[in-house]
């Protein structure tokens, strides 16, 4: 594959079946059960007036071979805009061929276009392949600035009802 064959662009509704397949591939890779997305359930989250995310896709010969899903983040304490890379998935047939690098470059351009000062993301602790990839694109690990915290659905429900 040459760089000229690879294109990065904003996702379109017609890309949703391929995006869903890439998401299922990523879920299996990180030992999750793939969600039961359909184009109808995902479309409002990616394209509706109240969308939750922006998606970039990598295409090769007009076929979607990778996706990067991003959301915007604003930090009030320091006034910084950041882009959160929620997921990056490259099809198994195109791994190692520059698709991930091209998607990350697209994410970087998107972040700069939005006036962001940084992009951040999480990496599954067992995903050595991802750590090697992100090291190659120049990302740094920063375990000293923050610790990932979360509430699962049961925790959310408990907190919501206790504090009501």
29 alpha carbon, distance to own chain's centre: 15
Number of residues that make up the chain: 164
Nearest residue to 138 (alpha-carbon basis) of 111, 104, 95, 113? 104
Q: Model confidence at 123, in pLDDT bands (50, 70, 90)?
A: confident
Per-residue confidence (pLDDT) for residue 163, from 0 to 100:
65
CATH for 3-162? Answer: 3.40.630.30
- Which pTM was predicted? 0.87
Whether the predicted pLDDT of 145 surpasses 70: no
- Check if the beta carbon of residue 86 is closer than 8 Å to that of residue 69: yes
Q: Which residues in the chain belong to E strands, given as ranges?
A: 6-10, 54-60, 63-75, 80-90, 118-121
Whether the predicted pLDDT of 133 surpasses 80: yes
pLDDT tens-digit readout, 87-102: 999 999 998 889 999 9
Percent of all residues in the chain with a pLDDT value above 70, rounded to a whole number: 95
Whether the predicted pLDDT of 144 surpasses 80: no
Percent of all residues in the chain with a pLDDT value above 90, rounded to a whole number: 59
Per-residue confidence (pLDDT) for residue 164, from 0 to 100:
62
Whether the predicted pLDDT of 17 surpasses 90: yes
Could you identify the residue written with the tokens 């490259």? 90
Q: Model confidence at 19, in pLDDT bands (50, 70, 90)?
A: very high
Whether the predicted pLDDT of 154 surpasses 80: yes
Average pLDDT of span 145-157: 81
């Amino acid at each position: 594959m040459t760089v000229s064959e690879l294109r990065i662009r904003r996702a379109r509704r017609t890309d949703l079946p391929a995006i869903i397949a890439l998401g299922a591939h990523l879920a299996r890779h990180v030992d999750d059960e793939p969600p039961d997305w359909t184009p109808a359930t995902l479309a409002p989250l990616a394209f509706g007036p109240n969308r939750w995310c922006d998606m970039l896709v990598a295409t090769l010969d007009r076929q979607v071979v990778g996706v990067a899903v991003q959301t915007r983040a604003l930090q009030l304490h320091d006034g910084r805009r950041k882009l959160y890379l929620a997921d990056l998935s490259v099809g198994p047939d195109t791994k190692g061929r520059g698709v991930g690098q091209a998607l990350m470059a697209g994410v970087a351009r998107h972040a700069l276009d939005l006036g962001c000062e940084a992009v951040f993301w999480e990496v599954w602790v067992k995903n050595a392949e991802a750590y090697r990839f992100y090291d190659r694109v120049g990302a740094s690990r920063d375990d000293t600035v923050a610790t990932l915290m979360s509430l699962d659905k049961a925790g959310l429900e408990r907190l919501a009802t206790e504090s009501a």
